[in-house]
A and B are shown apart, each in its own frame.
Chain A
Amino acid sequence: MDSANLVSIRNLTVLSGQRVLIKNLDLDIREGELIGVAGESGSGKTMFILAMLNVLPEGVKITSDRFELFGKDCRTLSSSEWRSLVGSHIGFVPQNTMFYLHPMMKIKKQIIDSFVSHKKGTKEQGLARAAELLRRVGFDDPERVLNSYGWELSGGMRQRVNIAMALMNNPEILIADEPTTALDAAIQRQILDLFKDINENEGVTILMVSHDLGMLHAYSNMNMVMYAGRMVEFGPSEDIFNAPAHPYTKALLDVIPTLSRTADDRLVEIPGFVPDSGREVESCIFADRCPYAEDICRQPVSMTHIAAHHLCLCAKPLTGGDRNE
């Protein structure tokens, strides 16, 4: 390990009643990484983020062998201590931008709330910082934005306000759940460039969930692929995108339409659906949809190291580029 682990999770399982939502997830996040989290809808990406932020829906419980954020064992913290830790170290950029800003509050009231509550400075300092950050995310008139209500802004503007709000406390990690969904391409680009810039120039670690692999390819340096509540592959972008080891990753990459596609080509799809139940099995959960599945895939499977930082949960990984032309 060349730098410290900001997040270290072992054997995380998320349960809703008896139903398994996420199973045996291990993850270390090192400082300075820009991690992409990929996977189809229902693969547990958002649930994983909510678990880290300690804002899981009612009735959803987690168990783990280790759950450390910034060196603190979250399993020993009370719920409010955990949230306070999250609030002062993690910035959260939500997916749907509509209702995260309080409809009855001006943005200036909401944006400095966390800053003041965590005793990072006075109200005036908070407002000054908010104005500076709003300028940073591309507003020319931060004063006007601060005096607006969330619903007075467009979706793209709201998302930029959310990002500015997430950056208020100088977070060590920025967690973004599909930050660019429902935004038009130009604003998407602008926001992703901003993330990249924050990551590279300020050393803020970023965890970005998306189902847009092309986007993750362009921006992330580490990637985590999730399927049906499991992390099936984790590794540096160049490995994941150029030589995926897990058949699911390969399938995901194959379904990205390319510009060279002609009108007659059918769009590729992965047959079947993400299983909603039965996620507790020990064998490979992708086997039913996997074109390479053999008998060995019905046996219990465990995480294997393909390379130093490249992990894969597959009985017969597609090692390197030999099967992947």
Chain B
Amino acid sequence: MLNYCIKRIYSAVIVVIVVSIITFLMLSMVSGNAAILALGTDATPEQLAALEHEMGLDLPWYLQYFNWVKGLVRLDFGSSMLYGTDVLTLIIQRLPVTLSLALFSMLMSLTVSFILGTISAVRKGGIVDIICRSIMQLGTTIPGFWLSIIFIIYIALRSPVFPISGFVSPSESFEGYLASIFLPSLVLAIAETGSMLRAVRTSMLQSLNQDYIIMAKVQGLPRWKIYIKYGLRGALAAPLNVAGLKFARLLGGTTIVESVFSLPGLGRLVLVAVEQRDIFLLQGTAMFITASVVLISLAVDIITALMNPRMRLEGEQS
């Protein structure tokens, strides 16, 4: 197990390093340099050269990269040219919104997927199974922005509970917070539930085909024990892994929903950075998001390994 963790951490570090190089090179090479962007096109070559020197832009690229990484390690992501504040501060301000969206939508999606997925596997070909298969189709094909608009028009505009846009911080009002986060989370959850449901159903069907299920049936165990204790227990790993990766992906993938519901989250921060060519902000957020994704998938891998006694005990046996 320890070996596995070390190997897994090792490869995660390599991924982060490679991603950081790509992020840095792409952004610093492509769109003209930051000094031009900061000063505008009217600046004199002398001013430009002075600022370039000040920002370290006249150094060879590997030294620039090295300086940038040195900053990252000290959690110094540079400062945004647009907002004039520290990139990390901006990220930390936006993080709760995106994190809430990701968490709530995953919670909704997981609950629905596990309940419906289990029933549809146990009663294969039954009504629930047919409904589930339609959800799998629909969930993945309905575009999020369209659904968001529909929700705003038909639910938020007509109901006093849900706000049309904006985010209420939980310290202000917890109910307000839940109401402000509910509809956007639902949109994301619907998009995720299709594949989540498929993962649970497939994994559960596989588990129900195992010999231990025959044994449980022969022993005359009650239904819930056969399906939950034996069936679901053997079917957890794959869907939880999928859920973890989905969660990680949501951290960088809520831009559309955040935009439609006007939520000040990470996705919109990235969008602004791209639109305004705020290179440091873009580098910082991109780095932050990839690092989080890598970290979360690392955590998911280790957790699923821990859940599997066979992996957990490996190497501890005499």
Contacts and interface: CB of A to CB of B under 8 A. Distances in A.
Interface in B172-221: 210-212, 214-221
Interface string A98-131: 1111111110001001100110000000000000
B233 A104 contact: yes
B215 A94 contact: yes
Contacts of A104: 233-234, 307-309
A114 B308 contact: no
Interface stretch (B47-55, B95-103, B222-230): B222-230
Chain B CB within 10 A, most for which of A96, A113, A149? A113
Contact of B225 (A88, A117, A152): A117
A118 B220 contact: yes
Nearest to B226: A83
A41 B309 CA distance: 36
A83 B218 contact: yes
Nearest to B223: A80
B7 interface: no
Given A55-B217, A114-B221, A117-B220, A151 B212 contact: no
Contacts of A118: 220
Contacts of A106: 309
B221 A92 contact: no
A102 B233 contact: yes
A86 B212 contact: no
Interface in B304-318: 307-310, 313, 317
Contacts of B219: 87, 92, 113-114, 117, 165
Contact of B212 (A83, A90, A100, A152): A100
A55 B309 contact: no
Contacts of A290: none
Given A99-B211, A100-B211, A102-B212, A151 B310 contact: yes
Nearest to A149: B309
Nearest to B220: A87
A209 B217 CA distance: 20
Nearest to B317: A152
Tell which of A98, A99, A101, A149 has the most Cβ of chain B within 10 Å: A99
Contacts of B214: 55, 94, 100
Interface in B77-112: none
Interface in A48-99: 53-55, 80, 83-88, 90, 92, 94, 96, 98-99
Contacts of A117: 219-222, 225
B220 A92 contact: no
Contacts of B310: 103, 149, 151
Contact of B234 (A85, A98, A103): A103
Nearest to A103: B310
Interface of A: 53-55, 80, 83-88, 90, 92, 94, 96, 98-106, 110, 113-114, 117-118, 149, 151-152, 165
Given A87-B218, A104-B307, 7 more contacts: A55-B214, A55-B218, A85-B220, A86-B218, A105-B230, A113-B216, A113-B225
Interface of B: 210-212, 214-223, 225, 229-230, 233-234, 307-310, 313, 317
11 contacts: A92-B219, A98-B211, A100-B214, A101-B212, A104-B307, A104-B308, A106-B309, A113-B216, A114-B219, A114-B221, A117-B225
